[in-house]
Amino acid sequence: MSLVNFAAREITCKLVYYGPGRSGKTSNLQYIHGRVPEARRGRMVSLATESDRTLFFDFLPLELGTISGFTTRFQLYTVPGQVYYNATRRLVLQGADGVVFVADSQARRFDDNLESFQNLQENLLEQGIDVRSLPTVLQYNKQDLPAELVLTPADLEDALNFRSVPSFSADALHGSGVFETLKALSALVLKRLAAGNSGESV
């Protein structure tokens, strides 16, 4: 849930990048962090393990202008992709205003995508969050790989996008689709915020 600080006239929203291990969640944040002007971004914190590059989360405050005189700040998080870090995933999801699901387009990762997507829904429901109302965007990453190795966006749409949410093909390492994904989710979150469906004073 977004936090509204009336004293500082600032709204802070939390966006979480979710998906299977090594699907490109960290690559998204690294690309964004590397191209946002230093004055408009905070320090990115990344913890790595032997089996997954992100153990806890990447943290990136990102200011995106003002709404009704309030500065809007977005905090971007990733969750660990490995199944045995599920408690950490639930923790990072708490208070999320929107989610990007980063799918790995490689055909051999199809089942991993389905498992992770189902896990996302289970964790949201466990926290009492209505999956249908939470702003969500799908990103089909690694579309730059040879065609014989990847599923087409249409194939991934059929498998994952039953809610017809915005979706983007991407190559997170080189930036294709990265900012488009972020802008789409930001717009959904701000639209929901403007409608008065979220927000609390601090």
CA distance 43 to 200: 25
Q: Tell me which H or E stretch contains 167.
A: strand 167-169
Composition of the chain by helix, strand, coil, percent to 5: 35, 25, 40
CA distance 163 to 111: 19
In-domain check, residue 202: no
In-domain check, residue 105: yes
CA distance 3 to 171: 32
pLDDT recorded at residue 49: 60
Give 31-42 pLDDT, tens digit per residue: 998 888 888 888
Counting the structural domains of the chain, the total is 1
In-domain check, residue 201: no
- Which pTM was predicted? 0.90
CATH code of residue 45:
3.40.50.300
Of the two residues 26 and 149, the one the predictor is more confident about is 149
Residue 201 backbone phi and psi in degrees, to 5? -85, 150
Q: Which structural domain range is residue 64 located in?
A: 3-195
In-domain check, residue 77: yes
In-domain check, residue 101: yes
Give 64-114 pLDDT, tens digit per residue: 767 778 888 898 999 887 777 888 889 889 999 999 999 999 999 999 999
